[in-house]
Amino acid sequence: MAIAVAVFSSLFICSYFPLGDALSLNYYDKTCPSVESIITNTVKEAFAEDKTVPAAVLRMHFHDCFIRGCDASVLLDKDGNSKVEKSGPPNLSLHAFFVIDNAKKAVEAACPGVVSCADILALAARDAVVLTGGPTWYVPKGRKDGRTSFASETRQLPAPTFNFSQLQQSFSQRGLNLGDLVALSGGHSLGFSHCSSFQSRLHNFDTTHDIDPSINPSFAASLQRVCPAHTKVKNAGSNMDPSPIMFDNTYYKLILQGKSLFSSDQALLTSPSTKNLVTQFAGSKKAFYEAFAKSMIKMSSITGGQEVRKNCRIVN
């Protein structure tokens, strides 16, 4: 079926997107009508205390959906000796799980045993974008929570070092196209990255270049000061862009200037079609917001769970 997707920013945009039968916009209308306002209030409270929360929640949702679908498997804690997704190297820097815990506690008080952790995370990710000035969209609901989580599967996550063909394959395996790749990469508008995610571009890049030649030289020099070779400073790194708590289209402008942090960001200029989208989004926040909202609905509709957890950290 097709639903109207309203995207709000400074402008109102209306578009259409085909939605799978498993999810619906009115899934909780009778069983938990206050679910969205409860989650929004929880995210707002967390953001007031910690400005890094929106970036963390959005990244958490991405990392959840790319492994076994959007089933909240990323939220599960270690059970005995088995290592879960949280323990996988790409997820060691995930944080703000308390936001989902708090939202789940508040939702359970209002509607016990009804709302999945996967839906809470999808709604919280939308709220995180809105709170930082980005678009809003109607989130389809009805996801179930998964019972399986393996650290080894986090190798499937797209890495900041990926080239264009690796990115294309990673997204296509999940039913996402090149337009989705460019739009969803705009999530890098928010947050902070540790040196380890981009250090390979700054030192001994290849046999002929010490520094990745696609990086703006002055930008590379500033990054080298923050991330010298073999740095042991645990929290050294850089903001993803100059406005790390504001969701906007600056990310795309930086790519065109050779000032993006990751190889995977700069790789978006490799293909004419993705380069055209980067240029379009750099020139139009409206175009980016509309594309981002549509691609978020598409990505968050990759489902795979089986139950509604009572506690987001453990299976029932």
Q: Is 246 helix (H, G, I), strand (E, B) or coil?
A: coil
102-148 pLDDT, tens digit each: 999 999 999 999 999 999 999 999 999 999 999 999 999 999 999 99
Inform me whether the pLDDT recorded for 3 exceeds 70: no
Inform me whether the pLDDT recorded for 1 exceeds 70: no
Backbone angles phi, psi at 264, to 5 degrees: -65, -30
Residue-level pLDDT at 255 = 97
Sorting pLDDT into bands at 50, 70 and 90, what band is 8?
Answer: very low
Q: Quick check: is 95 catalytic? A: no
Inform me whether the pLDDT recorded for 293 exceeds 80: yes
Q: Does the annotation list 85 as a binding residue?
A: yes
Model confidence, pTM: 0.91
Q: Does the annotation list 10 as a binding residue?
A: no
- Within 10 A of 230 (CB to CB), how many other CB atoms are there? 7
Decide: residue 208, CB within 10 A, 0-12 exposed, 13-18 middle, 19+ buried.
exposed
Strand-pairing partners, residue 7, are 13
Residue-level pLDDT at 240 = 87
Q: Does the annotation list 69 as a binding residue?
A: yes
Q: How far apart are CA 213 and CA 224, in angstroms?
A: 14
152-184 pLDDT, tens digit each: 999 999 999 999 999 999 999 999 999 999 999
Q: How far apart are CA 282 and CA 248, in angstroms?
A: 10
Residue-level pLDDT at 12 = 34
* Cβ pair 220, 199 in contact under 8 A: no
Which residue of the set 61, 63, 95, 209 is catalytic? Answer: 63
Closest CA to 135 of 58, 72, 63, 70: 58
Residue-level pLDDT at 20 = 42
Q: Does the annotation list 101 as a binding residue?
A: no
- Within 10 A of 29 (CB to CB), how many other CB atoms are there? 11
234-289 pLDDT, tens digit each: 788 898 888 889 999 999 999 999 999 999 999 999 999 999 999 999 999 999 99
76-114 pLDDT, tens digit each: 998 877 899 999 999 999 999 999 999 999 999 999 999
33-49 pLDDT, tens digit each: 999 999 999 999 999 99
